[in-house]
Every structure is written in C-alpha cells, then in structure tokens.
Amino acid sequence: MTESLTVTEISIPKAPTLPDAQTVTAVTHWTDRLFSFRVTRPQSLRFRSGEFVMIGLMGENGKPLLRAYSIASPSWDEELEFYSIKVPDGPLTSKLQHIRAGDQIILRPKPVGTLVLDALLPGKRLWFFATGTGIAPFASLMRDPDTYERYDEVIMMHTCRDVAELEYGRQLVESLKDDPLIGELVGDKLRYYPTTTREQSARMGRITDNLTSGKVFTDLGIPPISPEHDRGMVCGSLDFNTDMKTVLEGFGLREGANSDPAEYVVEKAFVG
Ligand code: A2P
C-alpha cells in the first residue's frame, strides 16, 4: 500500500503531447500564396459539408494559435483537407505554410458554420460564389451527394487574381465527373464558371460585375437569379461578402440561417 502510494507521488516525465493533435499526411503548394494540406481525421468527428473547425499550431508562448478553417474535404473522406492562403507576416499562416507530412497540427473537433444546405430553402439551382480560398467550403459541398440530390443544377463561380490561383478548384471540378463515388450523381449538373481579374484568361471579371451585368446568365444560357428558383452560398473576403449581399438582395433573395432557412447564406473566408 505504502509502496504504491510512493509510486504515484513520483511524477513520471511525459513526452509533451499537443491537445487535439492530428498528423499532416500531405501538403501541396499551388502558388507562392496558396497551399492545401491533408490531416488525419479524429474518429469521432462528424461534420456537415460547408462547416469549419478551428485549427492551428502551438505558439511560442505555449498557447495554441488557432484560426477558423473551412473543411474542404467531403464528409465521407477518411482524412480532412484544408486550403489556405500564406500571409508572410500572418501570425498563423507564416508558420503553417512550412508544415510537412508527419508534422502535427492542433484541430478542435467542433464543426460549425452557416454555409450548410440545411440553411437554404429548397430550390432548383444552387450557386456557389467564391473568391480566393473562399472556395474551400465548396470543395466539400461539391463532393457531397446531398448537393446533387437537392438541386437540379449547381453553379460554381470562382474568381481569383490570376489563372494559377484557380488551379486547386479547376483540378477538383475536373476530377468530379470521373469520381467513382459521386461522378454519376454530379453528371452534367455541375457548371463551373471561373474568372480572373488581373491576368488575361478565357473569362474575366469580378463575380459581382458578371452578375449585375447579366454576363454570366448569357454565357450559361440561363435566366437571371430569382428568389423562386435560385439559392446562393457566398464565401470570400469581407468586402466581397458585403457586396454580394447587396447583389443577391437586389435579385430578391433573403439571407438564411440554420435556424431560419432562406435563399442565401454567407461566410467569411479565413485570412491571416
Ligand atoms: P480584384 O483583382 O478586382 O481586386 P484577393 O486575392 O485580394 O483576396 O482577391 C480575390 C479576388 O476577389 C480577386 O479577383 C478580386 O478582384 C476579387 N474581389 C476582391 N474584392 C471584391 C469585391 N468587393 N467584390 C467582388 N470581387 C472582389
């Protein structure tokens, strides 16, 4: 008895372990400003496509440095994927951009967010509007069978400064038709409308301008957005989100939420 008490009183030094640690399995650098990475998925983690979690690294002060990141992988994937900007002096991304396979990151397994199908009323056509890394939640939603079961047509509008920044989204969209799991469901339902604003490419212009001028409707051969048929999800910078709200409300759409579904929802893409 005495002996065992003595043993418990001796503190056995343990190797420091991170709380909620997950292991990086792959990293892809798309441009000098953009990278994506995959990590192990906590067994208990369930999420709805479009939601985000807090992820990060241990700071030098011993406190976790966490930011909100949309999960870019579909809910059926056994790993988790994230898509991130690299900000040279960003507190987290200046360090996170150097992670390699085998490293650990912190992931709080509490998914939340408004970019979920349940926050929208049923409709005919679902629009995804993204700038930059704002495509991340749609990378998940574009791979969710529910998206295609609920809507006849899905339109992915993505705008970046230059062509190289569109590449992550382009490769993803192109892979979907041949995807063994959801390729058949996607079929011809998914339409992709990428544009650049600072480099010459096949299609140019800001999403807001291409909507208000009607160019995107002409190009796709569809009627303008209406509250009766169209639903929208917006993810980009603060300015983009604010301008998109004005554009969508101009078409008569109302903002929805989990508790009060309507015609469109908005979320800020992570920056910093
Ligand atoms: P632009 O080049 O005309 O600023 P960033 O890389 O700065 O996050 O921007 C990503 C893309 O989002 C760019 O193509 C940029 O166009 C576009 N963008 C930025 N702000 C807005 C906005 N308020 N409305 C529409 N598009 C925007």
Per-residue pLDDT tens for 185-194? 999 999 999 9
Quote the ligand 1 centre to 240 CA distance (angstroms).
7
> Is 243 touching ligand 1 by the criterion CB < 6 Å?
yes
| pLDDT tens, residue by residue, 163-201 | 999 999 999 999 998 999 899 999 999 999 999 999 999
**Mean of pLDDT over the chain:** 93
**Closest atom of ligand 1 relative to the 133 alpha carbon:** 8
> Is 31 touching ligand 1 by the criterion CB < 6 Å?
no
Quote the ligand 1 centre to 108 CA distance (angstroms).
30
Overall CATH class of domain 6-111: mainly beta
Whether residue 12 is predicted with pLDDT greater than 50 in this model: the reply is no
- In this prediction, residue 229 carries a pLDDT of 98
Q: Which helix (H) or strand (E) holds 173?
A: helix 167-176
> Is 154 touching ligand 1 by the criterion CB < 6 Å?
no
What pTM was computed for the model?
A: 0.93
| Overall fold of domain 117-266 | Rossmann fold (3.40.50)
DSSP structure class, residue 118: G
φ/ψ of residue 67, rounded to 5: -140, 160
- CA-based nearest residue to 72, from 110, 26, 38, 104: 38
| pLDDT tens, residue by residue, 51-76 | 999 999 998 888 999 999 999 999 99
What ranges do the domains of the chain cover?
A: 6-111, 117-266
Quote the ligand 1 centre to 168 CA distance (angstroms).
17
